[in-house]
Amino acid sequence: MQQKVSIARAVIHKPDVLVLDEPTTGLDIMATEIILEFIELTKEQGTAVIFSTHHLDEVAMLADRVTVIDKGTSAFSDSLDAFRELSPDHDLRRSFMHVLEQGNHHVASI
């Protein structure tokens, strides 16, 4: 319930940019689905949404761009497609591990 209230407080004033930190943590499947649909709708309405998550299925569903932060440094920042390309089978988990194992950073201009 606290997570739902936090999200409601974040959007009540219709911000230009919505920042969500682990928005589905602690939620059941139905509440998670509602939050993910809400994020999709918010994006469709033109609001920029920045969210942090370790759920790569949410990244696949919602992200246009991906940034991986490793030890406080941006290790990767580019499109979702560029992130997928880091793995031969386009698996996001393998792409993530590739970024961490590489050590060199990939940051594309916006």
**17 touches 5 (CB < 8 A):** no
What is the four-CA torsion angle of 107, 80, 66, 101, rounded to 10 degrees? -70
pTM, two decimal places: 0.77
Local confidence pLDDT in tens for the 110 residues of the chain: 666 666 666 666 677 888 888 988 888 899 899 889 989 998 998 999 999 999 999 999 999 999 999 888 899 999 999 999 999 999 999 999 999 988 766 766 65
Instruction: Judge whether 50 and 19 are in contact, CB under 8 Å.
Output: yes
Each domain of the chain, given as residue ranges in start order, spans 1-53, 64-110
